[in-house]
Amino acid sequence: MSAVVTVPEGTDHPYALSHLDSLESEAVHIFREVAGEFERPVILFSGGKDSILMLHLALKAFAPAPVPFSLLHVDTGHNFPEVLEYRDRTVAEHGLRLHVASVQEYIDAGKLRERPDGTRNPLQTVPLTEAIQHHRFDAVFGGGRRDEEKARAKERVFSLRDEFSQWDPRRQRPELWQLYNGRHAPGEHVRVFPLSNWTELDVWQYIAREGVELPGIYFAHEREVFARNGMWLTAGDWGGPRDHERTEVRQVRYRTVGDMSCTGAVDSDATTLDAVITEIAASRLTERGATRADDKMSEAAMEDRKREGYF
């Protein structure tokens, strides 16, 4: 096991690293650690920018060999079509294996009940945890970052989950000198967050540097939306808008991608990577704070969901 040692950028040292090089090295180190310590890892892949970045880093970590992990997507049934198209095209392009846990199938089977507000993000936990148990995954990569939300800020890179996939913050282990403890009992697994130390701006700067392709909804485009709870939601079959809600066509883009029922767009004219980076650098709101209704349900909404087994 080896820790990443960096030399400050701007020095004459031949191994000087930029901050993006350092973040990349740390993530590659984490991917390789998991490959060496665990038997059945899997990458959570939604087609959002963070999971796309994770896959890009995993490809670099093991090139020219194929990625030694499969992908898992929890499909709410209310996903953006552009994101599903990107997911399927990427899986085919790299010859990856994709597992899909469908919230709609759980609703059809009577295992889950549709919420009155139409939001399906909270319904993902049961399909996710049962997929982990069914496939006996012992390490699950997630794209969570500490700058997104306070519950994610205090979670370790290696986060132990019990036999019910629940998270107990009191059981977190120290990670001194980038030494990660993957020990777990039978039935338990570890959630792994290789992007923990990245910020939203880091993600966009790295995507621009590496030329990583993203779904078009991350860039400004015209879309039919309606206002609800201070956000612009996309009209669609998921249940919006209601009778009193008026739709209009606006130029928007998405900062984060989730269930259509709770993911808001932002007004934007950023049609290029450089324009998006400029917009993010000037923002004073995190992407989840600005555009995710599921995080606004209560002060501890994210931590409550994580304790139950959410990402």
The pTM of the whole model exceeds 0.85:
yes
For the chain, residues classed under CATH 3.40.50.620 are 19-201+299-308
Residues 6 or more apart whose CB falls under 8 angstroms from that of 183 comprise none
pLDDT digits (tens), the chain, 311 positions: 444 555 666 666 767 789 999 999 999 999 999 999 999 999 999 999 999 999 999 999 999 999 999 999 999 999 999 999 999 999 999 999 999 999 999 999 999 998 887 788 889 999 999 999 999 999 999 999 999 888 888 899 999 999 999 999 888 999 998 899 999 999 999 999 999 999 999 999 999 999 999 999 999 999 999 998 888 999 887 777 888 899 999 999 999 988 888 889 999 999 999 999 999 999 887 776 656 555 555 556 777 777 777 77
pLDDT at residue 2, as a whole number: 47
Residue with tokens 């984060």: 256
CATH code of the domain occupying 19-201+299-308: 3.40.50.620
Which residues on neighbouring strands pair with residue 251, listed in sequence order?
222
Round to whole Å and give the CA distance between 254 and 54.
19
E-assigned strands of 173-260? Answer: 189-192, 221-228, 231-234, 247-253
